[in-house]
Amino acid sequence: LLSRRKNEAPNSPFPDDPTSRGSLWAGIKDDAEAALLEYVGTTMFLLLAYGGVQAAATEAGVSTTNSVVERSVTVALAFGISLLVTVWLFYRVTGGLFNPDVSLALLIAGVIGPVRFVFYCIAQLVGGITAAAIVYALTPGPLASNTFPGPGVNKAQAVFIEMFITSALVLAVLMLAVEKHNSTPFAPIGIGLTVFVCHLWAVIFSGCGMNTARSFGPAVVTGFPYDTQWIYWLGPFLGSLLGSAFYKAMRMYATSAYPC
């Protein structure tokens, strides 16, 4: 179980091991270049995803036969499949995290260093704002992609839903992309489908952030119309810790007698 093979260059998403550098700042030029590309990737991921949300909202305004079920499935497809393809594209370039909560998990796992972590978080948050602004500029009507708790869902429930779905995403990244095995090159498929199925559950209940950059971008562009933005910072943060802790626990079993 869980042997991380280093230096597997051609297909490793993280061939540059920051922990082996002479100093924290030795790779800063690489970190900055990677963050720039991560910014483009996050923008592309969220542009296609917010675009799908905007389309579903516009279509629901056009006719009276659209249902809430089919809108949720469409939003789930927009986020899940957009992440699937954009992670696939950027996987061997920047890792394709597109999410500060995933960045945190990779910092905890020792895959990226603290400098790259900070650069990536900034790139991802600015990418979310950029994508929301582009969708707002290119489509009629108000921006439809803000996240907020659904009717009958209290704030604690929304935080815990966000925590659970983010931990699922973090675990998918750690088990499918960071761990090396035969299907590692196909991790983007598993990661994208994880986000898809989490949306099926959470869109109607918590709004389904599971990514602080995804919730922050539309909130900035629309002037923070909801006072529940903190939910999408706290819940995914806790989910990142939960996923990372479970991953560490599994690796401990692995280094002990458990033979898988």
Cβ count within 10 A of residue 110: 12
* Residues contacting Ca ion: total by CB under 5 A: 3
Tell me which of a copy of itself, Ca ion, none is bound by residue 126, counting a contact when its beta carbon lies within the kind-specific cut-off of 5 to 8 angstroms.
none
Of the two residues 224 and 252, which places its CB atom closer to a copy of itself in the complex?
A: 252
* Token pair belonging to 21: 């550098």
Instruction: Label residues 185-216 b or e (16+ Cβ within 10 Å = b).
Output: bebbebbbebbbebbbbbbbbbbbbbbbbbbb
Give the C-alpha distances (Å, rounded to integers) separating 30 from 15, 90, 229: 12, 15, 32
Q: Among candidates 132, 48, 50, which has minimal Cα distance to 85?
A: 48
Question: Which residues in 101-140 contact Ca ion (CB under 5 A)?
Answer: 136
The least distance separating Ca ion from the CB of residue 228, rounded to whole angstroms, comes to: 20
The least distance separating a copy of itself from the CB of residue 146, rounded to whole angstroms, comes to: 17
The least distance separating Ca ion from the CB of residue 142, rounded to whole angstroms, comes to: 7
Question: Which residues in 184-203 contact Ca ion (CB under 5 A)?
Answer: none
Three-class SS state of 208 = coil
Tell me which of Ca ion, a copy of itself, none is bound by residue 114, counting a contact when its beta carbon lies within the kind-specific cut-off of 5 to 8 angstroms.
none
The least distance separating Ca ion from the CB of residue 141, rounded to whole angstroms, comes to: 6
Of the two residues 19 and 67, which places its CB atom closer to Ca ion in the complex?
A: 67
Question: Which residues in 53-72 contact Ca ion (CB under 5 A)?
Answer: 67, 70
Q: How many residues does the chain have?
A: 260
Question: Which residues in 202-221 contact Ca ion (CB under 5 A)?
Answer: none
The least distance separating a copy of itself from the CB of residue 210, rounded to whole angstroms, comes to: 12
Relative orientation angle of helices 187-202 and 155-172, to the nearest 10 degrees: 170
Residues near Ca ion (CB under 5 A) are 67, 70, 136
